[in-house]
Amino acid sequence: MKYIDEFNDPELARRLLDEIRATVTRPWALMEVCGGQTHSIIRHGIDQLLPDEVELIHGPGCPVCVTPLDVIDKALEIAARPEVVFCSFGDMLRVPGTGRDLFRVKGEGGDVRVVYSPLDAVDLARKHPDRQVVFFAIGFETTAPANAMAVHQARRLGLANFSLLVSHVRVPPAIEAIMTAPACRVQGFLAAGHVCSVMGTAEYPDLAERHRVPVVVTGFEPLDILEGIRRAVHQLERGEHRVENAYPRAVRDRGNPAAVRMIEEVFEVTDRNWRGIGRIPDSGWRLTDAFRDFDAEHRFDVTGIRTEEPAACRAGEVLQGLIKPTDCAAFGTSCTPRTPLGATMVSSEGACAAYYLYRRMTDSPAPVSSAQEMNPVG
């Protein structure tokens, strides 16, 4: 197949579903790691087409959702400073911190700008040497190479007015944390294809072996996801637990060595807090000592932050796959994309946002206004 619409082909989808139905003999719970996969599943109703025995549990793979509240609050404090141009991808602007979000800071006069690449922020720093330009560097392994490249480039250009507020997270330690949690029901993983396109698959065989779970590297189109499920179910029914690459058009086993080299030059592994989940050892990256001058947390004094999560928000349970968004009493009532209580209702990869967009009215397609709510800066 060459074109993207071929990955939505209903006839091929039917054949994959038939094969899954013919294979499955007992209940299995699979976790799709990435929020992009969650959106595709809910948008296309894939979970409703599967046989009852196959349950999909939504994973924590939404970087916006897991960025801890204290980092959001630090971003809000830095962005409010008069000397700062605060740059971010659009998703982060409506993520609630303690009492406000970046939109509010912008409305109150902060210079908050949406950019499409960290290199746009480097460019702003070059054009405005009298301002401090800060880029909000969040994300999984997918965004880390570009953020590393931005710092690399800033140093090459001798820019002393550029820095990153870093909250990078890594998928394999999150899988480890999920599998060792007492309430874990996950029996197999659809690993995030875009993460593996950068990092390759070498980090997963050990996880698959120790926890005896199939790990199938999976893409994002409906047929990609059905193929990932088909392979995972096939392994489970045969008592196997291997790493399989069901996304070979984008993922090579060794990943992208140049991107990995760039990450390793700029970042080092560190423990990270995940919003709603807690601290996961070795689950993030921070700037190495050699690039510490570009760390916004060191450049700006942002200590003494006191965070407060809304009591009604159950995003932590959603992110751990313990409940579905619709199990939260605030879903669609006090919590909507326009009035979000948690980041999972804001992000284009958040599970609560997916259910709000595509599952809120089960008998009719999502209204246009919902899509507009989801993209307020678009």
> Could you say whether residue 64 binds ligand SF4 (CB under 6 A)?
no
Is 94 among the residues that bind ligand SF4 (CB under 6 A)?
no
By CB under 6 A, residue 325 contacts ligand SF4? yes
Other CB atoms closer than 10 Å to residue 15's CB: what's the count?
14
Number of Cβ atoms within 10 Å of the Cβ of 375? 11
Q: If binding is defined by CB under 6 A, does position 66 make contact with ligand SF4?
A: no
Q: Does 342 bind ligand SF4 (CB under 6 A)?
A: yes
Selected from 236, 262, 352, 357, the binder of ligand SF4 by CB under 6 A is 352
Give the helix ranges, DSSP H, for the chain. 10-23, 35-44, 46-49, 63-66, 69-79, 102-107, 118-127, 144-156, 171-180, 193-199, 204-211, 222-237, 257-266, 296-299, 315-319, 351-358, 368-374
Closest separation in Å from C-beta 278 to ligand SF4: 16
CB 285 within 8 A of CB 263: yes
* Phi-psi sector, 35: left (phi>0), alpha (psi -120 to 50), beta: alpha
Which strands form 28-34's sheet, in the order they lie side by side?
Answer: 54-61, 28-34, 188-192, 215-218, 243-245
Candidate ranges 38-46, 290-298, 329-337, 369-377; the one touching ligand SF4 (CB under 6 A): 329-337
By the rule CB under 6 A, 331 interacts with ligand SF4: yes
Among 1, 202, 312, 361, binds ligand SF4 (CB under 6 A): 312
Q: For residue 344, state whether it binds ligand SF4 (rule: CB under 6 A).
A: yes
Stretch of 159-167, 192-200, 252-260, 312-320 contacting ligand SF4, by CB under 6 A: 312-320
Both tokens assigned to 59: 């994973």
Residue closer to ligand SF4, measured from CB, 291 or 331: 331
Residue found by looking up tokens 């096939």 in the block = 234
Q: Which tokens sit at 286?
A: 């921070």
- Cα angle for residues 263, 165, 34 (degrees, 5° grid): 60
328 binds ligand SF4 (CB under 6 A): yes
59 binds ligand SF4 per the rule CB under 6 A: no
Nearest distance from C-beta of residue 100 to ligand SF4, angstroms: 17
Residue 264 or 317 with smaller CB distance to ligand SF4: 317
Which residue in the set 216, 226, 302, 330 belongs to the binding site for ligand SF4 (CB under 6 A)?
330
| Structure-token match 């959106």, residue found | 39
Least distance CB 279 / ligand SF4 (angstroms): 20
Binding marks (x or -) toward ligand SF4, 259..298, rule CB under 6 A?
Answer: ----------------------------------------
Question: Would you count residue 345 as binding ligand SF4 (CB under 6 A)?
Answer: yes
Which window, 45-53, 225-233, 264-272, 340-348, contacts ligand SF4 (CB under 6 A)? 340-348
Which residue lies nearer to ligand SF4 by CB, 218 or 347?
347
Exposure string over 326-359, b if 16+ CB within 10 A, otherwise e: eebebbbeebbbeebbbbbbbbbbbbbbbbbbbb
Q: Is 319 in the site for ligand SF4 (CB under 6 A)?
A: no
Cβ closest to ligand SF4, residue 98 vs residue 117: 98
42 in contact with ligand SF4 (CB under 6 A) = no
Q: Is the dihedral of CA 353, 354, 357, 360 positive or negative?
A: negative
The span from the first CA to the last CA of the chain, in angstroms, equals 31
Residue 93 tokens, joined: 């602007």
Q: Which is nearer to ligand SF4, 135 or 356 (CB)?
A: 356
Which is nearest to 50 in space by CA: 232, 289, 319?
Answer: 232
Closest CA to 316 of 60, 99, 101: 60
Q: Which is nearer to ligand SF4, 179 or 323 (CB)?
A: 323
Based on CB atoms, which residue is closest to ligand SF4, 12 or 323? 323
| Shortest Å distance, C-beta 236 to ligand SF4 | 29
Given the rule CB under 6 A, which residues bind ligand SF4?
A: 312-315, 318, 325, 328, 330-331, 335, 340-342, 344-345, 352
